[in-house]
């Protein structure tokens, strides 16, 4: 059996499905029934529905936009001019602002400008809770905005526009049975336009425009709001993506901070274990026979563990970037390619704590990291600075900086005030002294950047012998390649 379902009939006539059922129960409608018991509406039924909708008080239908456009005619010049002005103002804010609510407030202002209206709102769809969340509004009370949070995505006029991905308009909310009339009367809202915010297959939210008097929104006005909804959708998606990225970066920074702290604690624990073992050897009872060979082997094993911890190198630039997630930028100049792991983790954790303190104070800053002779310099360049910020650093942070022997100061700069933290580079001279004279010669030749065959020819040895020297150098310095070895040489 052909014909429309009750949902399709409601969409085609603008009359809610519940009213169609009520009219059928009252004997005013007589749709046919399919074999499965479902109602089927034909063209005659639809005509009866439209006549009933116009005749029954308070049941003026919700007009689908397609029908409204057919009645409203060609957009006027005034609406086109208002739309142009709205586009310009909104685009300017969207280009310069990052906060979602600021951008959407400019969006609702643009929508109201295009419609020559003063009341409206933009709500985002919170899909996990199946509710709307108001993000920007004009002309609506706090009570009304709070009520929006109770609107489910599929309910009411907004839910219908959102669910069907189609704009709709109501001439008078005060007499329409499908509207929340108590709220409408309280706010003195009559005319209504709702446009879904769409981006591809995504449904992001809704734009609502209200009027104090009954109002038939024209096709030009609906077109204008739909065009602006595209820019709203792009801005909303961009801001949400940026917020998600910032959340992920903050999470990564938090994990990195936890890792560096755990590494520092593990290193301290290892140092304590080594110290206890040395004390046990020193405090061994004198009356017991001393196993000199065993004692020597144990001391050598402990010494190897100490050297391994000192030699391990890491590129601290990655650690610092993770710790300084709140900075506008982190810039490096002549920064060492490798630093001892223990020093690098302590340094990154301490500098990250300073950055975290600035983040809590909503500071706007750039970090510049550089090497000057035997010092590592960290500059926090702030747009605004007060010396009281130093007092904001907690005792744990100050203790970490003191353990590093850091020097803290401030100075002026063209771009603003600068907090300067200077830490002396850890010496690698003891490690280099472990190399033989020939190995030190090979290490210095690595600086030239020549290939193994070229280095071997310059040193008068075979490539195999050179490789043996390199293997020994890497093992003694605790590095994995020539780049890290040269970095330790540079960091002397």
Is there a single domain that holds both residue 318 and residue 172?
no
Bridge-based pairing of strands 330-333 and 365-372 is parallel
pLDDT cut 70: percent of the chain above it: 73
Position 306 in a domain: yes
Is there a single domain that holds both residue 297 and residue 401?
yes
Task: Give the pLDDT mean for 109-130.
Answer: 88
Position 341 in a domain: yes
Task: Give the pLDDT mean for 470-491.
Answer: 75
- Domain termination residue (choose one: 374, 395, 424): 424
What pLDDT, on a 0 to 100 scale, did the predictor assign at position 356? Answer: 78
Q: Model confidence over 144-153: pLDDT tens digits?
A: 777 776 677 7
Q: Which residue has the higher pLDDT, 449 or 61?
A: 449
Name the strand (E) or helix (H) holding 136: strand 131-138
Band (pLDDT 50/70/90 cuts) for residue 71 is very low
Report phi then psi at 41, rounded to 5.
-105, 130
- In angstroms, the CA 176 to CA 16 distance is 10
Q: DSSP string covering 234-294, please?
A: HHHHHHHHHHHHHHHHHHHHHHHHHHHHHHHHHHHHHHHHHHHHHHHHHTS-TTSPP-HHH
| 375 close to 425: Cβ distance less than 8 angstroms | yes
Is there a single domain that holds both residue 216 and residue 86?
yes
- In angstroms, the CA 206 to CA 107 distance is 12
Q: Among residues 180, 30, 215, 209, which one has the least CA distance to residue 119?
A: 209
Is there a single domain that holds both residue 232 and residue 334?
no
In the structure, how many helices (H) and strands (E) does the chain have? 20, 15
- Domain termination residue (choose one: 187, 213, 244): 244
What pLDDT, on a 0 to 100 scale, did the predictor assign at position 121? Answer: 92
User: Using a CB cutoff of 8 Å and minimum separation of 24, what contacts does 280-286 make?
Assistant: none
Band (pLDDT 50/70/90 cuts) for residue 120 is very high
| 342 close to 307: Cβ distance less than 8 angstroms | no
Is there a single domain that holds both residue 349 and residue 407?
yes
Position 217 in a domain: yes
Q: Model confidence over 337-353: pLDDT tens digits?
A: 777 777 888 888 888 88
What pLDDT, on a 0 to 100 scale, did the predictor assign at position 413? Answer: 65
What's 459's domain CATH number? 1.10.10.10
User: Using a CB cutoff of 8 Å and minimum separation of 24, what contacts does 176-182 make?
Assistant: 176/58, 176/59, 176/60, 176/62, 177/16, 177/19, 177/58, 177/59, 178/16, 178/62, 180/147, 180/156
| 138 close to 101: Cβ distance less than 8 angstroms | no
Q: Model confidence over 350-372: pLDDT tens digits?
A: 888 888 777 766 567 889 999 88
- In angstroms, the CA 273 to CA 270 distance is 5
Position 445 in a domain: yes
What pLDDT, on a 0 to 100 scale, did the predictor assign at position 428? Answer: 57
Band (pLDDT 50/70/90 cuts) for residue 79 is low
Is there a single domain that holds both residue 442 and residue 388?
no
Is there a single domain that holds both residue 129 and residue 216?
yes
Helix axes 43-55, 6-13, angle to 10 degrees: 50
Helix axes 219-282, 316-323, angle to 10 degrees: 130
What's 112's domain CATH number? 3.30.450.40
DSSP 429: H
- In angstroms, the CA 220 to CA 69 distance is 8
Is there a single domain that holds both residue 190 and residue 84?
yes
Task: Give the pLDDT mean for 463-492.
Answer: 78
Radius of gyration of the chain (CA): 36
Position 273 in a domain: yes
Band (pLDDT 50/70/90 cuts) for residue 332 is very high
pLDDT at 42 over 80: yes
Is there a single domain that holds both residue 281 and residue 188?
no
Largest alpha-carbon pair distance within the chain?
A: 116
- Domain termination residue (choose one: 398, 424, 450): 424
Is the entire prediction scored with pTM above 0.85?
no
Q: Model confidence over 208-261: pLDDT tens digits?
A: 999 988 888 888 888 889 988 988 898 888 877 777 777 766 666 666 666 666
Is there a single domain that holds both residue 416 and residue 451?
no
Number of domains in the chain: 4
What's 10's domain CATH number? 1.10.1660.10
| 56 close to 13: Cβ distance less than 8 angstroms | no
Q: Is 421 exposed, middle or buried (0-12, 13-18, 19+ CB in 10 A)?
A: buried
Q: Angle at Cα 352 formed by Cα 346 and Cα 355, nearest 5°?
A: 150
User: Lowest-confidence range among 56-70, 105-119, 181-195, 393-407?
Assistant: 56-70
pLDDT at 312 over 60: no
Is there a single domain that holds both residue 476 and residue 415?
no
What pLDDT, on a 0 to 100 scale, did the predictor assign at position 251? Answer: 65
Position 1 in a domain: no
Domain of 282 in residue numbering reads as: 263-424
What pLDDT, on a 0 to 100 scale, did the predictor assign at position 119? Answer: 92
| CA distances (Å), origin 76, targets 19, 69, 72 | 36, 13, 10
Is there a single domain that holds both residue 108 and residue 45?
no
What pLDDT, on a 0 to 100 scale, did the predictor assign at position 416? Answer: 63
- In angstroms, the CA 369 to CA 263 distance is 23
- In angstroms, the CA 35 to CA 13 distance is 25
Position 301 in a domain: yes
End-to-end CA distance of the chain: 90
| 339 close to 388: Cβ distance less than 8 angstroms | no
| 24 close to 45: Cβ distance less than 8 angstroms | no
pLDDT at 123 over 80: yes
What's 292's domain CATH number? 3.30.565.10
Position 330 in a domain: yes
């Amino acid at each position: 059996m052909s014909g429309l379902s009750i949902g399709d009939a409601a969409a085609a006539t603008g009359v809610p499905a519940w009213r169609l059922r009520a009219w059928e129960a009252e004997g005013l409608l007589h749709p046919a029934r399919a074999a499965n018991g479902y109602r089927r509406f034909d063209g005659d039924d639809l005509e009866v529905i439209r006549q009933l909708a116009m005749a029954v008080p308070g049941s003026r239908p919700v007009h689908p936009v397609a029908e409204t456009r057919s009645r409203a005619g060609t957009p006027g010049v005034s609406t086109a001019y208002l739309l142009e002005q709205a586009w310009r103002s909104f685009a300017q804010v969207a280009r310069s602002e990052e906060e979602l609510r600021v951008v959407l407030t400019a969006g609702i202002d643009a929508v109201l400008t295009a419609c020559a209206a003063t009341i409206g709102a933009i709500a985002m769809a919170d899909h996990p809770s199946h509710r709307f969340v108001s993000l920007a509004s004009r002309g609506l009370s706090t009570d009304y905005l709070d009520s929006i949070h109770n609107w489910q995505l599929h309910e009411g006029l907004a839910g219908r526009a959102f669910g069907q991905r189609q704009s709709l308009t109501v001439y008078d909310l005060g007499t329409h049975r499908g509207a929340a009339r108590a709220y409408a009367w309280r706010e003195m809202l009559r005319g209504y336009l709702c446009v879904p915010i769409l981006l591809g297959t995504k449904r992001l939210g809704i734009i609502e425009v209200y009027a104090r008097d009954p109002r038939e929104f024209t096709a030009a006005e609906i077109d204008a709001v739909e065009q602006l909804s595209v820019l709203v959708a792009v801005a909303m998606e961009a801001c949400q993506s940026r917020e998600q990225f910032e959340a992920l970066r903050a999470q990564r920074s938090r994990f990195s901070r936890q890792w560096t702290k755990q590494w520092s604690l593990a290193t301290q624990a290892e140092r304590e274990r080594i110290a206890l073992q040395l004390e046990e050897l020193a405090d061994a009872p004198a009356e017991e026979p001393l196993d000199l060979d065993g004692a020597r082997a144990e001391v050598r094993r402990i010494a190897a563990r100490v050297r391994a911890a000192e030699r391990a190198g890491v590129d601290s630039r990655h650690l610092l970037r993770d710790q300084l997630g709140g900075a506008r930028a982190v810039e490096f100049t002549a920064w060492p390619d490798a630093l001892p792991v223990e020093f690098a983790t302590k340094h990154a954790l301490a500098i990250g704590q300073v950055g975290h303190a600035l983040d809590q104070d909503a500071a706007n800053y750039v970090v510049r990291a550089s090497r000057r002779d035997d010092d590592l310099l960290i500059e926090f360049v702030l747009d605004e600075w007060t010396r009281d910020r130093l007092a904001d650093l907690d005792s744990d942070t100050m203790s970490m900086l003191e353990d590093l022997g850091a020097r803290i100061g401030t100075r002026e700069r063209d771009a603003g005030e600068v907090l300067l933290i200077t830490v002396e580079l850890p010496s690698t001279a003891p490690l280099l002294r472990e190399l033989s004279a020939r190995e030190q010669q090979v290490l210095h030749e690595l600086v030239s950047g020549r290939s193994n065959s070229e280095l071997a020819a310059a040193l008068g040895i075979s490539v195999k012998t050179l490789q043996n020297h390199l293997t020994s150098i890497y093992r003694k310095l605790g590095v994995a390649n020539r780049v890290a070895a040269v970095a330790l040489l540079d960091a002397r």
